[in-house]
Amino acid sequence: METEIIVRPFYKKIPFIVIISLVAAFMIYHSVMSVMAPVRKLNEIRTEYGFAQNVKNPVDERIPSDSAYLSLMKEKAWYQSRVAMAATDSIYMTINLADTTVNLEISGVVVHSTDIKKQRISNILKKR
């Protein structure tokens, strides 16, 4: 009684290997981009609405560390972002963590407001 050894050609396995490789590459790419997206958006927001020192009028180094000055700059950034959103003429949601409120707005007019009952800060924001 002899056993017959069947040799399957390698070229039949190639499409399967290629498909598995492409799916794995897509999954890795998607995972990396989903981790990098919040970091990029946070940097974009900081450059657009963050504190920018005027070169012509240098500010004393003690002023940006003053808590009253920082609270005024945060309030100014809040209002600037609301004006920018109102100019888009769309529906948007504003989240005010200091007042723990969430507002649904249309063109700058608050349609609905609610309190935040529970909040959790992402680790990406804690690092900065």
Spatial neighbors of 106 by CB under 8 A, at least 6 apart, are 90, 91
pTM above the 0.85 mark? no
pLDDT, one tens digit for every residue, the chain (128 residues): 567 777 667 677 888 899 999 999 999 999 999 989 988 888 888 888 776 666 666 666 666 677 788 888 888 887 888 788 778 778 888 888 778 899 998 887 889 999 999 888 777 777 65
Spatial neighbors of 104 by CB under 8 A, at least 6 apart, are 91, 92, 93, 110, 111, 112, 113
